[in-house]
Amino acid sequence: MSGSGKSIALDVLEDNGYYCVDNLPATLLLEVAQFLGEAGHDRVAVSVDARSSALASLPGHLETLKARGVECRVLFLEATSPVLLRRFSETRRRHPLAGAELTLSEAIESERTLLAGVSGLGHRIDTSNLLPRALRGWIKDQLGLGTGALAITFESFAFKDGIPLDADWVVDARMLPNPHYVAELRELTGRDAPVIAYLDAQEIVQRFREDLRSFLARWLPEVARDNRSSLTLAVGCTGGRHRSVYLAERLAQAFRGDWRVLVRHRGLANQDAAGSGA
């Protein structure tokens, strides 16, 4: 049903790796599924609404896809007419079936009639009393997307260059022992074995790293439950070469098995670019 949360559903699916197609005519479902499958897309989300031509052909097309070995799941989003009336009035959006011949109320009831033949094809979700956040959670639970969809970026940086604008959480590592003041380590980075061994041997570094790991293990599931698709933890030190790089790498290593993890070293990337003349 228009106004029942289709855009929210597609956003959730897109954030979780689905290739999304909006307002696809039912008659093109088989062709689009074949084309996207051949193009290498193994997870596709398609929305079909009452504007679709030949809506009655949708059940048959789904059976054909299943016969071809394609796993198909159907979610039908709906809401009560008073709720839909309020939503369209508040957003001032035009109902897709409304026009010169139909009022908003009549368009909603007409759409409900048109969709009656497909409403029972899959799992029905009444969004009448659901906040967007709750609807996102329900869709993720229904499709088994879980919390693993959260992408975490561990980014090191130098405070002298400023805090990264994309940082959600910022950690200051400047109170830890600095390899810069060890002559044989100065030109190395936090990815080099001698620096790693030096910092691994420091009790204060290990306590700090464990505190960060425990904090993240406790709170990352809550971030994922809030339907966030990504989070950037920026770890900073003075020069962005040793302590912050070491911690970003160690934390990424600790969480890579449970989450989608990226590592970015802003200071090193800038230095590499400068060194190459880029």
The reported pLDDT for the residue numbered 164 is 87
Tell me how crowded residue 116 is: count the other CB atoms within 10 A of its CB: 9
- pLDDT, one tens digit for every residue, the chain (278 residues): 999 999 999 999 998 889 999 988 888 899 999 999 899 998 999 998 887 667 888 899 999 999 999 888 888 999 899 999 999 988 888 888 887 788 889 999 999 998 988 888 888 888 988 888 888 888 887 787 765 567 899 999 999 988 888 889 999 999 999 999 999 999 999 999 999 999 999 999 999 999 999 999 999 988 887 767 788 999 999 999 999 999 999 999 999 988 889 899 988 865 554 443 33
For the chain, which domains are there?
6-142 (3.40.50.300), 151-276 (no CATH)
The reported pLDDT for the residue numbered 136 is 86
CA angle 118, 122, 126 (to 5 degrees): 90
- Residues in the chain, how many? 278
- Cross-strand bridge partners of residue 195: none
Radius of gyration of the chain (CA): 26
Burial-class residue 266 by CB neighbours within 10 Å (0-12, 13-18, 19+): buried
Instruction: Decide if 250 contacts 187 (C-beta within 8 A).
Output: no
